[in-house]
Structure 1
Amino acid sequence: MSCSESHLSYEEQLNKFIGRGMFVKNKTKALERLKHISYYKIKQFSTFFMDNNGNYKQNTSFEAVIQNFYFDKNLRMEFLKCSEKIELSIKNKIAYLLGVKYGAFGYLNFSSWCDRSRPKQEIQNEELKFKKKIQKKMKLFSDNSIIKDFVINNPTETYLSIWRLSEVLTFGEALYLFEMMSQKNKVSIAHNYNLKVDEFISYANNIKLIRNLCAHNMSIIHLKLRTIPKMNTDFSNILNRYDRIFSSVLIIIYFIKNINPNYKFKTLYHTVCQLIKRNKVAKIYGIKNYKLLKKYIKS
């Protein structure tokens, strides 16, 4: 098996960066970083500082690249924290709606709450697949107190109640239930966040995408979105393009403010301030007015 790559010592890895025009302020500290952060992870963040020829722009330091890595990490951690709050809220709203309208097990009858414009056979197939998924979850999480208590107290039930089920659904599975809903049910869920159905879908899918990237330690600060979110608010005074990560930042903030108007985005505010201050390239992130952005985060 032939491969163009070969093992490099930490010293050799650092020299590859230097050979492309990067300078290192403290070689000892840089080598320590390379012992704990992979060469390719650092290289990924360093592309932001490269010119069109693959060389580093003048005055690009190893330390600046590492700083970029930590800004990204802090932003990812904040996204994960906020997206968890959003996930919990959405799952709770879905469970509440299905429970209050159709009872503990009414959700198992897809034809009663699903979009009836879908072919009947399709709805039946989706119902069958979902029931199998529930039973898999009940086995997989059998030691989870939420499931364990239910099984003990309801030994004759084959499936979980909608309220218990919502606790073991993934965010994607919860959004699947939303997608299957009738338009009336979708409107009810989206209304909780002062969103239209298409806006809710766009926002939720954007959050799911960014959350998945964060969970797999993928870089997000230089992300270019292929699908532009349908913004329900005019942010044209803050952003000059919507295909960058700060569209997702505004979506997260919007959702959280609807869930908890008193929530303080201290860590996010600090990270954004440091990121823009350090790079001095707000335009690259699609930011038109960073002062208004900071004001929106802080308000």
Structure 2
Amino acid sequence: MKEPKELSWPEQASLLEKRGMIIDRDDAQTLQSISYYRIKQFAEPLANFNKEKQEVNYDGVSFSEVLKRYYQDKNLRLNLLHAIEQIEVAIKTRLAYILGQNYGPYGYLDFYQWANREKFSNFQIEKSQYRFKEQLLKIVKKSSMPDFKKKENQNRDGFPTVWLAIDSLMFGGLVTIITTMSKRHLKRLAGYFNCTGNELISWIKCLNFIRNICAHNSDVIDIKLNTVPLIRQSWESNLYSIKGKNGYRPTNRLAVVIFVLVTLVSAVNTKYRWKDISSNIKNICAGNDDKARMIGFKNFESANIKKIVNNVNALN
């Protein structure tokens, strides 16, 4: 088997050109700061694949068009993270309030008090509790926040109060707590966001996945969700449907994420400025129905973020 050969930047540009991509003289220089494989990743949705030869064909695709998609994705990722942060902070605040009000400053450490015992066995609850406490102590140890070090904010085992603990959680830890909660507490938490408990769990799992993608600089424009979050009927007229074995099913593309994001952020902040994300989506679709469908919208008109926000606020 032939070992991979290191290619110079001009050679990488030549390889893309050989496969049909329209390359300008300065494009090899761009490959010094944006890797060949990153360019290849963003070019893939625009390319054709020859099954017989097992080759990618970039005929008619320009390097500049691919580079534009790369920067569109980069800008969108930053703006998605900003919107997700709005939801994260609001959920933490409400969650800490519910647990603190019901079980005091340290009752949250006893998962048996507030976990869904119908859904989880005692062993599963104990396992989740152990992992949570282990991770929490690591967070406390690494934190430079003065409030964590104050004795009045710790129990005898060194665990912080519920308000400090929940605020310090990563998004993944937040998902663990919410999915473990009893139906009563989950219903109350979801009520703050104008959704059901099942919707909240489904949506925050989706946003946790998207947040990780954005944080690790992965391609979010071309995202295909393996697990599609719960979709409201009111969203369906704006979403592109995919034909499957059992008939049509809702898209698993970025558009679904946008609806989840708009619905949750609007419950927290009706005055949130959607201008940046709206501009991102408009540039990605470029007034083209086909490009709008590539990210899961029914057509370009359906990708109008301002209208989506207004419709969601009207229903809430």
TM-score calculated relative to the size of structure 2: 0.87
Task: Name the SS for the 1:159 alignment partner.
Answer: coil
Residues 1-299 of structure 1 correspond to what in structure 2 (within 5 A)? 4-24=3-23, 26-28=24-26, 30-53=27-50, 54-117=55-118, 118-141=120-143, 143-148=144-149, 150-151=150-151, 156=156, 158-241=158-241, 242-277=251-286, 280-294=290-304, 295-297=306-308, 299=310
Structure of greater relative contact order (alpha carbons < 8 Å, 6+ residues apart): 1
The alignment partner of 1:5 has SS state of coil
Task: Tell me if structure 1 keeps the 8 A contact 2:106–2:161.
Answer: yes
> 55-64 or 85-94, which moves further after superposition?
55-64
Q: Which amino acid aligns with 1:271?
A: N
Say if 2:117 and 2:182, in contact at 8 Å, map to a contact too. Answer: yes
**Which is worse superposed, 102-111 or 274-283?**
274-283
Q: Number of residues paired by the alignment?
A: 294
Structure-2 separation of matches of 1:185 and 1:152: 27
Q: Is the 8 A contact 2:203 2:230 kept in 1?
A: yes
CA distance in structure 2 between the aligned counterparts of 1:181 and 1:158, rounded to whole angstroms? 24
Deviation, 1:126, is: 3.0
> 1:12/1:88 Cα in 2 relative to 1: closer, same or farther (>3 Å)?
same
Answer yes or no: is the 8 Å Cα contact 1:269–1:297 preserved in 2.
no
- 5+ residue gaps, structure 2, are 242-250, 311-316
Secondary structure of the residue aligned to 2:236 is: coil
CA 1:21/1:186 → structure 2, altered by over 3 Å: closer, same or farther?
same
C-alpha separation between the residues in 2 aligned to 1:220 and 1:273?
A: 15
Is the 1:46–1:65 contact (alpha carbons within 8 Å) kept by the matching residues of 2?
Answer: yes
> Using the alignment, how far apart are the partners of 1:84 and 1:237 within structure 2?
28
Give 1:297 deviation, angstroms. 4.6
Identity %: 29
More displaced stretch, 117-126 vs 13-22: 117-126
TM-score, normalization by structure 1: 0.91
Q: Distance between the aligned counterparts of 1:107 and 1:131, measured in 2?
A: 10
State the one-letter code of the partner of 2:239. Answer: L
- Partner deviation per Cα, 1:196-218 (whole Å, 9 max, x = no partner): 11111111111011111111111
Let me know the Cα RMSD of the aligned residues.
Answer: 2.0
Matched position secondary structure for 2:238: coil
Q: Deviation at 1:45?
A: 0.8
CA distance in 2, matches of 1:226, 1:101: 37
Distance 1:57 1:35, change over 3 A: closer
Say if 2:153 and 2:161, in contact at 8 Å, map to a contact too.
no
In the alignment, is the contact (CA less than 8 A) between 1:195 and 1:232 conserved in 2?
no
Contact 1:91 1:166 in 2 (8 A): yes
CA distance in 2, matches of 1:184, 1:288: 37
1:146 alignment partner AA: D
Shift of 1:181: 1.1
Question: What's the CA shift for 1:58?
Answer: 3.7
**CA 1:121/1:20 → structure 2, altered by over 3 Å: closer, same or farther?**
closer
1:8 deviates by 1.0
What is the deviation of 1:298? 5.9
**Aligned to 2:224, what secondary structure does the other structure show?**
coil
Structure richer in strand, relative to its length? 2
Q: Secondary structure at the match of 1:52?
A: strand
Distance 2:236 2:217 in 1: 30
Deviation (angstroms), 1:134? 2.2
Q: Which runs of 5+ in 1 are unaligned?
A: none
Q: Distance in 2 between matches of 1:19 and 1:27?
A: 14
Evaluate the alpha carbon distance shift between residue 258 and residue 52 of structure 1 in structure 2; reply closer, same or farther with a 3 A threshold. same
1:82–1:252 Cα contact (<8 Å) kept:
yes
- CA-to-partner distance for each residue in 1:127-147, whole Å, 9 max, x for gaps? 333323322222122x22331
